Amino acid sequence: MNNRCSHVTHGLDISPGGHMKPCCIIDSNKFPKISIRNHTIEQYRKHPAVLDLNKRLEAGERPSACDTCWKTEDANLPSQRQIENARHYAGTRISLAIGNICNYRCRICGPDSSTRLIKEWKTIFGEEQGIQDWYKDIKIWNNLLDNVPNLNYLQIVGGEPFLLEIDQHIELLEKCISSGAAQNMVLHYITNGSVRPTEKLLSLMDQFKSIDMTFSMDGIEEQFEYNRKGGNWQTFQSNLFFMRDRNAPNQVNSINLTVSVFTVFYLEKILTWCKQNNLQQPFLNKIVGQPHYNIGVLPKQVRQTIKQKWNRSSHFNLRKATSWLDEDNSDLFLKFKNITRAHDQYRRESFADTFPELHQAIQQSAS
């Protein structure tokens, strides 16, 4: 048995803070921090931790750093590893966050990915974090540009990429085009949908083999605005529909939906809204990295109620994912409650008012 993963052999994820790792879901506590500030991309690829991970996967082991994939596969759902292996990219791929500049304060995010959360984090948790601008170092940026000709997949994530019509962003796309790589490259954006790309960016994008435009959408209407603070539902909808209706032959659109405590009770409604608006069914991603927002923190009775709903759902995705609700992290429920209350107080918001049905189900399970 071989558990090979092309994220390890051909991939590279560069986080907003400039940490390099095979993919965005690997457990950062179980993989060393390899910083782009003091390692080149070539040094990363030969790093003992990367070589060792590859060796263990090739030997059929299941390293615990990759637990998210094993859990997904055990639930009979396609894991990142399997999805990536099936894509068969011939060259290399990079997922790149150009720093942490963002205009949202998402509930499930942190200041490492959004500058707007720096102050809130300091007030609530006393944690000091700053703006990540490693990409302004000319040596680092040139090393990245040198790797462009071998790329056939470039993912640009947030922060929010379309806030970043900065020299580096434009230079990166232009280098992809002038080196000839763009003709064979998938350019993938993950956007929060708050900013429509400018005509200049759109005209550069049109020169790539294909554009994958993924909108992150955790909820609809009032719940969207609670989960993605700073976002405006009407603006998001308008940008999403603009991309849906744009006639670019090389472009496909998709939606990412993070399955967390804040969305799990309402997935049926969100998926139905997507269907009614001629949008692709969202990719459902279980939250990683913030265990107190995992759906397993909910009391068992609440998870059972959701499971019954999913079993009757008209959406195949939900009927297939019911085993997610068997995971039990209810020991973190108090932590979830305390942190949510702290953010509610800071933002003058209310979980109970925004998610009344879920709140009621939690209350009933305690009585």
The Cβ-side half-sphere exposure at 8, using a 13 Å CA radius, reads: 22
Whole-angstrom distance, CA of residue 332 vs CA of residue 10:
36
**Closest separation between CB of residue 332 and ligand SF4, Å?**
22
Chosen residue from 12, 15, 80, 189 binding ligand SF4 by CB under 6 A = 80
81 is a contact residue toward ligand SF4 (CB under 6 A): yes
Cβ atoms within 10 Å of 84's Cβ, excluding its own:
23
Chosen residue from 68, 114, 194, 263 binding ligand SF4 by CB under 6 A = 68
User: Which lies closer to ligand SF4 via its Cβ, residue 80 or residue 100?
Assistant: 80
94 is a contact residue toward ligand SF4 (CB under 6 A): no
Phi/psi at 34 (5° precision): -110, 110
Across the chain, which distance is largest between two alpha carbons, in Å? 65
User: Which lies closer to ligand SF4 via its Cβ, residue 5 or residue 279?
Assistant: 5
User: Which lies closer to ligand SF4 via its Cβ, residue 54 or residue 179?
Assistant: 54
- Tell me the two tokens of residue 166: 């900065």
User: Which lies closer to ligand SF4 via its Cβ, residue 49 or residue 202?
Assistant: 49
Residue with nearest beta carbon to ligand SF4 = 66
116 is a contact residue toward ligand SF4 (CB under 6 A): no
5 is a contact residue toward ligand SF4 (CB under 6 A): yes
For ligand SF4, the binding residues in 12-41 under the rule CB under 6 A are: 22-23, 25-26
User: Which lies closer to ligand SF4 via its Cβ, residue 25 or residue 144?
Assistant: 25
**Closest separation between CB of residue 145 and ligand SF4, Å?**
25
User: Which lies closer to ligand SF4 via its Cβ, residue 80 or residue 132?
Assistant: 80
Whole-angstrom distance, CA of residue 42 vs CA of residue 147:
9
Chosen residue from 12, 66, 217, 259 binding ligand SF4 by CB under 6 A = 66
315 is a contact residue toward ligand SF4 (CB under 6 A): no
7 is a contact residue toward ligand SF4 (CB under 6 A): yes
Whole-angstrom distance, CA of residue 182 vs CA of residue 187:
8
Chosen residue from 69, 94, 205, 318 binding ligand SF4 by CB under 6 A = 69
Whole-angstrom distance, CA of residue 330 vs CA of residue 348:
26
Contacts 24+ apart (CB under 8 A), 280-285: 280/253, 280/254, 280/255, 281/255, 281/315, 281/317, 282/217, 282/254, 282/255, 282/256, 282/257, 283/214, 283/254, 283/255, 283/256, 283/257, 284/257, 284/259, 284/317, 284/321, 285/256, 285/257, 285/258, 285/259
- Tell me the two tokens of residue 227: 């989960």
Whole-angstrom distance, CA of residue 125 vs CA of residue 158:
23
260 is a contact residue toward ligand SF4 (CB under 6 A): no
Residues that bind ligand SF4 (CB under 6 A): 5, 7-8, 22-23, 25-26, 66, 68-69, 79-81
